[in-house]
Amino acid sequence: MDQRDQKGTYSDLFRLDGRRALIIGAGGIGAEAARALSDHGALITCADRDGDAAQAAAAAVGGQSAELDITDSEAVRHAAESLPEVDVVVLTAAMNVRKRILDYSPEEFDRVVDLNLRGTFSVIKYFGEKMVERGRGSIIIFSSIRDQVVEPGQSVYAATKAGAVQLVKTAAAEFGELGVRVNAVSPGVVETRLTSQIKSDPQWHQAYAAKSALGRWSLPAELAGAVVYLASDAASYVTGTTLRVDGGWTAVDGRFTPPA
């Protein structure tokens, strides 16, 4: 089991003292996840294809940094071999090319799939292998509301996020009896660089805010609690699940509120 000997109060279940956490994708949500895990006692390594971004996120929590491009499967394998024993892996790195299917090029398709799906597979495979050998660990993959609901222009991104969720479920089934938990976090619309195109259009920005039950976008820090929970012993019996942190987006039917 990933769960350690539990003594003390229930608040101790969320402590991560002495555990090593690797955050892949160090900007935005990843940086906030690193802060939250560090505040709960974890030892942090921040990794990103942008070495400067990794260093900045690591410096903010007194952690270590590494340059890592998860589209290079050999680099992921090497990272899993060379980094200190990792108890928690959080993968937030992703990209989107927002175009309708008829406008998509094969090259754009390959770019999105290579990072979002193939990269996710490599992280689960190589870091999961090391966790299985040690008999413990928690892998947390960031998905999206687009793993369940779509809109025009989201075809390839949505397909990769749905695929990532199926990888999570399969890894959970294969690694579970060996002590490793694998889960997904599915955010709604978050104020990050990935959504800058939407934020630049006031009407589009407001439409997305109105779609959630809370009537607003989320901030990266609002995803951090889900990461701490899934990393900790508080979630010791949670695996193969998708935790939706979407402000109720996927619970609400449409944008029109009819009279009661």
> pLDDT (tens digit, 0 to 9) for every residue of the chain, 260 residues total?
444 455 568 889 999 999 999 999 988 899 999 999 999 999 999 999 999 999 999 999 999 999 999 999 999 999 999 997 999 999 999 999 999 999 999 999 999 999 999 999 999 999 999 999 999 999 999 999 999 999 999 999 999 999 999 999 999 999 999 999 999 999 999 988 777 778 888 898 898 998 899 999 999 999 999 999 999 999 999 999 999 999 999 998 876 666 76
Contact of 58 with 46, CB cutoff 8 Å:
yes
- Domain topology for 10-191+219-246: Rossmann fold (3.40.50)
Locate the domains of the chain by residue range: 10-191+219-246
Place of tokens 């779609």: 211
Q: What pLDDT does residue 7 have?
A: 59
Contact between residue 23 and residue 33 where contact means Cβ atoms under 8 Å apart: yes
Going from the C-alpha of 26 to that of each of 9, 94, 160, the distances in angstroms are: 32, 11, 20
* Spatial distance between the Cα atoms of 141 and 11, rounded to a whole number of angstroms: 24
Q: What is the pLDDT of residue 48?
A: 97
Length of the chain equals 260
pLDDT at 256: 66
Q: Out of 104, 126, 157, 229, which one is annotated catalytic?
A: 157
What gap in Å lies between CA 48 and CA 174, rounded to an integer? 27
Instruction: Please state the pTM of the whole predicted model.
Output: 0.93
- Identify residue 7 by its one-letter amino acid code: K
Query: What are the start-end ranges of the E strands in 18-166?
Result: 20-24, 43-48, 64-67, 88-91, 137-142
Active site (annotated) includes residue 157: yes
